[in-house]
Amino acid sequence: MSSIIQLLPDHVANQIAAGEVVQRPASVVKELLENAVDAQATEIKLLIKEAGKALVQVIDNGIGMSVTDARMCFERHATSKIRLAEDLFQLNTKGFRGEALASIAAIAYVELKTRQNNDQLGTQIVIEGSKIVSQQPTVTPQGTSIAVKNLFFNIPARRNFLKSDVVENKHIIDEFQRVVLAHPNIHFFLYVNGSEVYNLPAGNLRQRIVAVFSGKMNERILPLQEHTEVVGINGFIGKPEFAKKSRTEQFLFVNDRFIKSGYLHHAIMGGFEGLIREGLQPSYFIYLQIDPKHLDINIHPTKTEIKFDDEHTIYAILRSAVKHCLGQFKVAPALDFEKDPSLETPYELYGKEVSIPTIQVDPNFNPFGEAPKQQRGTSSYYKGPEPAWKALYTDLPNDLPVIEAEFVPSQTNLFESTRVETEFAQVQQLFNKYVLAKTANGLLIVDQNRAHQRILYEDFLKNITVTKGFSQQLLFPIEMHLSGPKKMLFDDMKDALYHIGFQFDTTNSDGVISILGIPPLIQESDAEDVINQLITVISEGSVSDAFDLNDKIAKSLAMSVAVRNGQSLSQSELESILQRLFSCMDSTVSPFGKPIQYTFTQEELDRKFTL
């Protein structure tokens, strides 16, 4: 029997190893950005084309590489941060160059340009699928530029499994945000398909958070700081009243490295206990500083999961720090049972001068005297002249002509036919939630919210794909400020919103858009919230193609606009819901797959009363 086990060729082994490190274009972004940070760069540019499938390029002004380092960084098992096995537990950097570049070069076209400060010429290396095509001197600025083109060109199966550009861009922006929030002292740029999405100058942590998540974030966060022998904690946490359903604004760093830890997240949520409703998530940007010898960061290839040798102590300290921060800024309620409420100054009297009370006495007042005439049966409050209209009815002559008018009975029969004629009889509303109707088959019960969702969903989807919906022009445009990634998502769904009935002016600068028109079903006061909710839904979900994007937009709008449970409806509105529901393509389930209606037959009702 022949041997079964054999050694893999180098190019096959490189491609398999690359699959562990490079899962999607965002993985390349993470590695290249971290390399540029450790190259002591003060300015880093990230360029993306076609969601990273065509190009991922990082340009920095760091220390650059020598000719030998430029060649060695693409070799397998080459690294700049490990010399001995013990170094795995003393890591203070993310890695200058090496190891990951070999995996990236195995599945893409890579062009490297680099030059050190003291060299007159730099080095250019071109690699195609682990094969070095050329290496030559070149004129290039100080620093390093790495361009990764046609990712997964030699692994078409992996390329076919990539998601849509919207999803891949979202993952890229997530990785970009994690790096820029960990290093606010570096100037970062992000360009997507030639458009500038982020321009983040160097500054402090608060300035970086505000620049990434728009100016409103400045008033929504509280500073957090706690230092102990075990761990140092600093950063910011969001105020409880601004908690959201999504976790897009939750960042936890250990030694300036982004991590995911459900255990520490539970500690942070414990600090907010009793201050936010169930299902909502607070914002936080928390940075932990721990001695590297107490960490193990190599339990996961992406290094986003970490083990602590004393995680229980860190849990308790982090939870207490969050509680202390909320109490320090008077966000959490404080109870003092020894305080005497009678000694507290009322809130409305703060800052007012104390004045001696005075008593006004009428020396001529006689309690046995006759009351003034104006107080007898007439009001003394109005002392002005007689109203002018009274003069119209005074001194009228008695011989005014009498005008006879012909009586025309009101034609009420013109409106008798406006009532909606349906096949349903005796339509009623129950608990302001269900619509009841007697049908030939029995008693029909319809959930009004889900029914209206189905009606609106099919209407919105028809407007997007077939006929354009109506638009209601606004007297005063509504201005919205969208940050970089939100502006990208808005541009992706702008055409669909236009067909639904929205009208925009996007010629403003700094990510400001003006809403000029809205669909008739949407209130003017809700327009901005509806669009923000749409952006959140698209950013948190996976979108495979254009139809999937339109479907999610229609579902989100239907959920936002539909009548709520608990809302009282008129008789005509109840009949209209039933009539429009049974005109839908599917009247049995809502757009989210939940049942809309149920019919109780006479047999079912009879069984309820059978002994």
Q: What is the mean pLDDT of each run of 10 residues along the chain (611 residues)?
A: 66 59 89 93 96 95 92 74 48 55 90 94 93 93 95 87 84 94 96 91 94 85 93 95 87 92 93 89 95 74 75 93 89 60 62 76 75 49 51 56 50 36 69 91 92 94 87 90 82 88 82 89 87 82 74 91 92 92 94 94 88 60
pLDDT of 172: 93
Given this chain, do its domains 10-200 and 206-328 carry the same CATH topology? no
Are 290 and 231 within 8 A, CB to CB? Answer: yes
Say which residue the tokens 């013109």 belong to.
414
The confidence score (pLDDT) of residue 78 equals 60
Yes or no: is domain 425-598 CATH 3.30.1370.100?
Answer: yes
pLDDT recorded at residue 364: 79
Structural element, H or E, at residue 50: none
Q: Which CATH number fits domain 206-328: 3.30.300.30, 3.40.640.10, 3.30.230.10, 3.40.50.2300?
A: 3.30.230.10
The third-level CATH classification (topology) of the domain covering 10-200 is Heat Shock Protein 90 (3.30.565)
Query: What per-residue confidence (pLDDT) applies to 550?
Result: 87
pLDDT value of residue 415: 32
State residue 412's pLDDT score: 37
Show me where the domains of the chain are located.
Answer: 10-200, 206-328, 425-598
> Are 294 and 310 within 8 A, CB to CB?
yes
Q: How far apart are CA 576 and CA 574, in angstroms?
A: 5
Please give the structure tokens belonging to residue 182: 């960990």
Q: Judge contact between 597 and 587, C-beta under 8 A.
A: yes
pLDDT score, position 465: 86
CB-count exposure of residue 10 (10 Å: 0-12, 13-18, 19+): exposed
Q: Which of 255, 256, 236 lies closest to 183 in space, CA to CA?
A: 256
In this structure, the number of other CB atoms found within 10 A of the CB of residue 466 comes to: 8
Burial code of 302-341, b = ≥16 C-beta within 10 A, e = fewer? Answer: ebeebebeeeeebbebbbbbbbebbeeeeebeeeeeeeee
